[in-house]
Structure 1
């Protein structure tokens, strides 16, 4: 089984924040969406909508200890993980899990030809494992022509 299967069987919406948003805004979005990490995007006229980094709860907690409350007014770009570890839709579940384990991360942006097509998380892999244990793993639907995994 590969990462593409997971992307096709989960909600396709990727929650993102711009590099210019404040850390407080990012925390508010995480709370509202009940998630623990955000994709950070930057809109460049020459390159389009590009993945700039990832911001996780762990990033925020560690920085809060170091910098205190002033952290909340900082732009996300000063705190995010730049050049995050990523995977491809064709990577196996095992490869994705090994990346997450090796780099001590719980969220993995999925890139295809340099474009963000989704995010897989530890929660997705837990859900898959539960489905396998219960014998309810669904077959991934066949891709439609021109259909993206997630936006």
Structure 2
């Protein structure tokens, strides 16, 4: 299954923030949308980084409970792995597993077109396996 197919099922809205957005605001967005990461976009609307729950937990360990003085730019991962819409779900799952992260931006010719979570990837793979199982059952029965 290609990533483009998974993106078609998603809302199309990409949670993003400006680099100067406060961490309490980022946390509020994560909670409000029930998501695990936001993309940080620069003034030109290009991906500058990503802030995940893990980045926030690490900041809590390093800075203590008051993160109000920090911004998305302070915590974001700047070297963000990404993939293209034509990538296969198995490749994406391998990249996420090897990199030990749960959110992968999708870029098409350098333009951000979506983000895939590990939950999206697992759900798509389970659906793919279920279709294969059904096809095999029909083949055996028929």
| TM-score relative to the length of structure 1 | 0.82
Deviation at 1:133, TM superposition (A): 5.0
Quick one: distance in 2 between partners of 1:113 and 1:13? 19
**SS of alignment partner, residue 19 of structure 1:** coil
Quick one: distance in 1 between partners of 2:46 and 2:97? 25
**SS of alignment partner, residue 21 of structure 1:** coil
CA RMSD of aligned residues (A): 1.5
State the number of aligned residues: 132
Q: Pairwise mapping of residues 99-114 of structure 1 onto structure 2 (< 5 A)? A: 99-114=95-110
Bigger CA drift: 55-64 or 120-129? 120-129
Structure 1: any 5+ residue segments left out of the alignment? 136-151
Matched residue, 1:74: 70
Q: Which of 58, 64, 68 lines up with 2:60 in the alignment?
A: 64
| TM-score relative to the length of structure 2 | 0.86
Matched residue, 1:10: 10
Quick one: distance in 2 between partners of 1:133 and 1:37? 27
Deviation at 1:50, TM superposition (A): 0.5
Higher helix share: 2
**Structure 1 stretches (4+) deviating beyond 4 angstroms?**
none
Matched residue, 2:31: 31
Structure 2: any 5+ residue segments left out of the alignment? 132-142
Does the aligned pair in 2 maintain the 1:19–1:76 contact within 8 Å?
A: yes
Higher strand share: 1
Cα deviation code 1:108-142 (max 9, x no counterpart)? 0001111101001111112213433554xxxxxxx
Q: Which of 85, 94, 97 lines up with 2:93 in the alignment?
A: 97
